Structure 1
């Protein structure tokens, strides 16, 4: 159904093979930077090897979107299988559910979903493709899905059931007379499900045995009363081994991760250090848990689980670029050897075969936008598979560096600057584009970013402030962002701009701002707060009316949802803080804005709906200014389509050429 007609072979075959004990390099395809190269989706992404080592699957651009490409490692002359997503959907992720089944997460728009069926939403469906029969099916019955919604962070997918390769374990939350979480065994060939177990609706994360058949432990959080429990075992044999109570008006700060060496591994949030601890199921005693790695404090840590057994093998974190630290063999040895071979690159392990004969790797550096490799540990070989942006000549890759500064109240603010290729701070002053990140509880990195790289290639220095509220730089900085959505987060950015002007990096009268999501809000709000600083602003999927976005979120998720608790903490209450939120909303204060404003918005954006840009456009027109919106048809909140990226970059070109060149 979704497998396109088999085409003549699209060769990906190993470009070069190297001995593991020597350094590796590969030459990018030289080409002058142009908008089509930067707007394109990564040429290679999400590379995964099948458990038996026969196939490689990856995401790549295809007919204006992206598709799954499956290559036969054992028979390189075989035809490539190309798997496209269901109609009107976008591929978000892929993996192997068995040695012959590729599964994709397809994001689909539901025009009637949400609270009281009044609001559209985007939801995910899992699609299974048998690469041998080339048959694709959507997993789970449509009618069943209509009265439910996926639970886990990975949609409704729970476990691959490696001993039963034609099935996976999935879950749905069903809200009938008795709300409950239901687990189903789902056939990868037919998409049909069979009920396996029932659990309380308040069940959150679950740890399974390596075969996926048994529950080892689970966590339970009642949002109505704030009671949090961790259970060991399952069914009538489960016992409470940890219990706490949280303020129900806020999100909880303790999280269950997995079962590790027979003990329950937990993490505490809102702390400067990586705070992991274990609970002994027998004694119910707590003990600190450490990972033997010197990785510093303040980072956001995520567990890494084995792609086949789902066992904990290490952690990932970001220290300017994403990194991995492994606590289990053979991962530690693989990682060490790969980093030695791919000298100068940060290396991440993506997947492995059951027999450990093949491993897929991802490498990146300041001059490498991202490359994928096949590693064969027993032979000591690494083979190049593909690059994210191979058309960009290394000499045209702009360097991104840390450039921290001090805000007006003494808070140290991290920041990144991307200089035009061949330029440094000594080359200034230069026209500057401010590019604040979304979130706002997120962060930028020094990794390759198509948006910043394109702007730098056009000759602009790009400033990315990691204003208070950003994650990954310590809890203290994140905590200082509470309640500062429309205040000190903005003044942090302004203080950073002033710092760059004082350091002779930015030209004071040639500064514009652009960004998406919360960055889109900053693009509209900064010229409102500091009218003479910014000559122009381009907002992508940005918020313009804060109280309205809070109302929208309540209608979609409920007044007691974790999303609303988060937003109240970051933004404020739409009733209690009404006057403040009106003063911080660009659509309510167009008269203060001198900068030329350009609005860009995805028609299928369900995170910040198109209405936000329409409200801003209406306010601009009422003030006698241009209020047209550049629409991105069928795109979501994330600039997921190449044609959307190109339209956005073209709009940037026109606007910035007028004010910065």
Structure 2
């Protein structure tokens, strides 16, 4: 268990030396109970990004001092080994959501702030820039620009074109401008003096714009309730034509992804034989013939395009939790194959290139490896580890995960992922059933800190991609529409019963846990099935589906939400845990952040009140200033300590 290379050296050396040698807790064959903090902390390093010239690496680093907690941005110079730290946050006033380089000198820092607009809890997004040469941090959007707006835009971080040949400007889109302030106007922002000019005026109902490689605003997405149109124009503000139109959740949907070097070649995502794939279309073709570029067998292709400035062409697609690169260009495929030979026990993804594509960042991970970042150099043929995502979660101490399949009661095949405690040889294990959130999301055989925590405590863990999960094609996704509490729910139950039939789960020691939609599924499971689960845990869970849908009334996506979840409010309430409190007869743990902007804390408050009314065994942990994503380290610790105590009391391993 050697992690011996140091990335950071500075006044914060003790805090930021992420790759120092670690003590050996145990031999790899010996199960080792790790402290809660090893799992229940925000990652040590995230958002690793390389400057265009490959000379600087920016990261978000967990700050864990006695007097200071939170996150900070670190910019590390590869040649000198020196670092600067332009931004620090306690992860409560705001959280850092991303980093990107505007040039070799300027780093963009994306931030999210909890706020309230017109009495409605919301999030605000802002964009900051840090100049290395000037050692100066400032907002990209200046007050003089905001004076032009009819209202202050909620999202001030939406860059649609980095203008790679122009270090002084970017193109951004905003609402709040002009005669159609509810729609997006594209503005050219000067990064030096903050001046701005309108490039593309808002068009009614157009919610997003895409530029071509010549930096002209060419394609827009038109939305009117659940109806979409993809429109195209020859240049900024010119007359446009409709390329495609479709309804939300329809199989004929077509989404623009970006242009090739040729301004007439548009790459799109559309369904191919029932699965999302990537095509390219020549916009001069009257028939708009779709030419298949990339597909996966029996899986969807998602993500964004990878454009090679060196080759001046699209060479792949980035998708996955860490924007992993998948290439279809032979040169880059060969590089990935070489990495897989050097790092044979992990999945290895190139996540970023320098501008000349000679230096690159690799993220190497597996079900047992939380992730190692490497700096590669194609000329020197070197691959140097630079940071570990969770430095105290040694792969040798993590539990392996296997892919499983089971049949739902109607015969539908469901893929799942089973993690057993390390070196668990016995059957009938205490078990955590852990459905994912979303619900149009998915689980896979990758590292999951919740799962590894449960397994380290001695529990088998079952995750499943119930119908409606993303990635399995159109029919599977469509099967989840307006299905909360119905077959989506019984898919979870059927997976639990399958695990019992296989002899893995002890039928008398099963708890169900989940976050967001997963929290909904957990509480619905104990309300609708008797004697299957011995307890339930919900973090930020939806407890009132009727209220969830109605809470979107002030938002543009209200009709989309109704189409996805439903608008028969009586039926939605009947399929809500809060309506079934009387039927829940097992201990329940509710955890919720007070500033959750995705699922309001009132969901858990109302559920707690309903369970208390019927004298049920319920505990409620409310996280002051906590959000939907456990962004604050203290909130994660409080959450996991509460879970630990709850499980020790109601589902002890021994």
Q: Aligning the two structures, in what range does the TM-score lie when normalised by the shorter sequence?
A: 0.7 to 0.9
- Kept in 2: contact 1:9–1:79 (CA 8 A): no
Pick aligned residue for 1:66 from 66, 71, 76: 71
SS in structure 1 of the partner of residue 379 of structure 2: coil
Match of residue 126 from structure 1: 127
Match of residue 257 from structure 1: 257
Match of residue 93 from structure 1: 98
- 1:353 pairs with 2:380: no
- Kept in 2: contact 1:230–1:256 (CA 8 A): no
SS in structure 2 of the partner of residue 471 of structure 1: coil
**Whole-angstrom distance in 2 between the partners of 1:84 and 1:321:** 22
Residue by residue over 1:569-622, the C-alpha shift from the partner in whole angstroms, topping out at 9 and shown as x without a partner, is: 33221xxx2332222111111110001111100111111011111111111222
Match of residue 402 from structure 2: 401
Question: Structure 1 pair 565/454, CA: closer, same or farther in 2 (3 Å)?
Answer: same
Match of residue 20 from structure 1: none
What are the within-5 Å matches in structure 2 for residues 637-652 of structure 1?
Answer: 637-652=628-643
SS in structure 2 of the partner of residue 65 of structure 1: strand
RMSD: 3.0
**Whole-angstrom distance in 2 between the partners of 1:14 and 1:656:** 32
Match of residue 21 from structure 1: none
- 1:653 pairs with 2:654: no
What are the within-5 Å matches in structure 2 for residues 188-199 of structure 1?
Answer: 188-189=191-192, 191=194, 193-199=196-202
Match of residue 48 from structure 1: 49
**Post-superposition offset of 1:89:** 0.3
Q: Which is worse superposed, 62-71 or 320-329?
A: 320-329
TM-score by length of structure 1 reads 0.87
Question: Structure 1 pair 420/28, CA: closer, same or farther in 2 (3 Å)?
Answer: farther
**Whole-angstrom distance in 1 between the partners of 2:185 and 2:323:** 35
**Whole-angstrom distance in 1 between the partners of 2:414 and 2:421:** 23
What are the within-5 Å matches in structure 2 for residues 322-401 of structure 1?
Answer: 324-328=325-329, 331-401=332-402
Pick aligned residue for 1:315 from 306, 317, 325: 317
Match of residue 279 from structure 1: 281
- Kept in 2: contact 1:85–1:106 (CA 8 A): no
Q: Which is worse superposed, 250-259 or 541-550?
A: 250-259
Question: Structure 1 pair 190/530, CA: closer, same or farther in 2 (3 Å)?
Answer: farther
Match of residue 24 from structure 1: none
Pick aligned residue for 2:85 from 54, 64, 81: 81
SS in structure 2 of the partner of residue 553 of structure 1: coil
Match of residue 506 from structure 1: 505
**Whole-angstrom distance in 2 between the partners of 1:91 and 1:225:** 32
**Post-superposition offset of 1:188:** 3.4
**Whole-angstrom distance in 2 between the partners of 1:34 and 1:14:** 18
**Post-superposition offset of 1:530:** 0.7
**Whole-angstrom distance in 1 between the partners of 2:215 and 2:564:** 40
**Whole-angstrom distance in 1 between the partners of 2:196 and 2:17:** 38
- 1:290 pairs with 2:300: no
Question: Structure 1 pair 451/98, CA: closer, same or farther in 2 (3 Å)?
Answer: same
Question: Structure 1 pair 224/647, CA: closer, same or farther in 2 (3 Å)?
Answer: closer
**Whole-angstrom distance in 2 between the partners of 1:283 and 1:46:** 40
Pick aligned residue for 2:185 from 182, 185, 201: 182
- Kept in 1: contact 2:200–2:236 (CA 8 A): no
Match of residue 170 from structure 1: 172
- Kept in 2: contact 1:431–1:507 (CA 8 A): yes
**Whole-angstrom distance in 2 between the partners of 1:322 and 1:97:** 18
SS in structure 2 of the partner of residue 200 of structure 1: coil
Question: Structure 1 pair 81/223, CA: closer, same or farther in 2 (3 Å)?
Answer: same
SS in structure 2 of the partner of residue 472 of structure 1: coil
**Whole-angstrom distance in 1 between the partners of 2:638 and 2:60:** 22
**Whole-angstrom distance in 1 between the partners of 2:23 and 2:150:** 48
**Whole-angstrom distance in 1 between the partners of 2:322 and 2:412:** 23
- 1:200 pairs with 2:203: yes
- Kept in 2: contact 1:405–1:413 (CA 8 A): yes
Gap runs ≥5 in structure 2: 1-9, 26-31
**Post-superposition offset of 1:470:** 0.8
**Post-superposition offset of 1:337:** 2.5
**Whole-angstrom distance in 2 between the partners of 1:595 and 1:271:** 45
**Post-superposition offset of 1:389:** 1.6
What are the within-5 Å matches in structure 2 for residues 549-568 of structure 1?
Answer: 549-555=548-554, 557=555, 561-562=556-557, 564-568=558-562
What are the within-5 Å matches in structure 2 for residues 233-632 of structure 1?
Answer: 233-235=234-236, 239-240=240-241, 242-247=242-247, 253-260=253-260, 262=262, 263-269=265-271, 272-291=274-293, 295-306=296-307, 312-316=314-318, 324-328=325-329, 331-423=332-424, 427-555=426-554, 557=555, 561-562=556-557, 564-573=558-567, 577-625=568-616, 628-632=619-623
**Post-superposition offset of 1:627:** 5.1
**Post-superposition offset of 1:138:** 1.9
**Post-superposition offset of 1:354:** 2.0
